Structure formats: C-alpha cells, structure tokens
C-alpha cells in the first residue's frame, strides 16, 4: 500500500508542478499582451490596475499549486535534509503567496474606492 501511495505521489508532484507552470505562463502572456496593448492604446490607470490584478491572481494560483506539490513531495521524502529543504521552499512560497494576496486585496480596495 505504501509503495502505491509513493508511486501515485511521484506521478502527481510533477503533474501539479506542470499545472502551476501553465498557470504562470498563461497569466504572464495575458499580462504581457495587456501591457503591450496599453502602450499603443493609451490605457488609463484603471485598465493597468486591472491587468496587474489579473496577473496577481494567476501568480497566486500558480504558487498555490506549487505549494500543493511541495506538500505531497514532503510526504514521500525520508531524509531529514530533504524534508528541511522542502519545508524551507514551502515557507518561502507561503510567504510569497501571503504578501501577494495582501497586495491584491489592497489594490482591489483602492480600485473600489476610486470607482
């Protein structure tokens, strides 16, 4: 049973990391296109903020998926060194996610007040 769980986890971790990669790449491409459009179409501040908020949402989603993969990967590691490295990565991603989400919340509030 343990080997089955390990095999499934070893398949799931790269798959979830790939999903995170796709989220971040798609979000980056979308944000880039909106920024380039803004250069040529003279977008107002609201459009730029909306683009950045949208990008932030993509990044939060990607980081959340990466954190899920880290949690799964920790479950199959046996050495304390590997667990420590994964824990450090998970803490860094959690802090990034927290502060990014905090910035997004502040930007949403500012956008509502401006409307």
Quick check: 50 and 102 in contact, CB under 8 A?
A: no
Confidence (pLDDT) at 18: 97
Residue-level pLDDT at 37: 86
pTM of the predicted structure, to 2 decimals: 0.77
Torsion-angle region of 77 (φ positive above 0: left; ψ -120 to 50: alpha; else: beta): beta
| pLDDT in single tens digits along all 115 residues of the chain | 778 888 999 999 999 999 999 999 999 999 999 888 887 887 676 777 788 888 988 998 999 999 899 888 888 877 888 788 878 888 888 888 888 888 888 877 877 777 6
User: What is the DSSP-derived secondary structure letter of residue 42?
Assistant: T
Predicted pLDDT of residue 43: 65
């Amino acid at each position: 049973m343990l080997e089955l769980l390990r095999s499934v986890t070893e398949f799931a971790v790269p798959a979830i990391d790939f999903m995170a990669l796709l989220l971040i790449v798609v979000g980056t491409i979308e944000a880039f296109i909106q920024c380039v459009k803004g250069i040529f179409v003279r977008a107002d501040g609201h459009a730029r903020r909306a683009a950045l908020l949208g990008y932030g949402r993509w990044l939060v989603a990607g980081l959340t998926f990466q954190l899920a993969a880290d949690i799964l990967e920790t479950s199959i590691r046996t050495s304390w060194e590997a667990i420590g490295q994964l824990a450090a990565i998970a803490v860094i991603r959690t802090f990034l996610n927290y502060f990014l989400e905090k910035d997004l919340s502040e930007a949403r509030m500012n956008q509502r007040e401006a409307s």
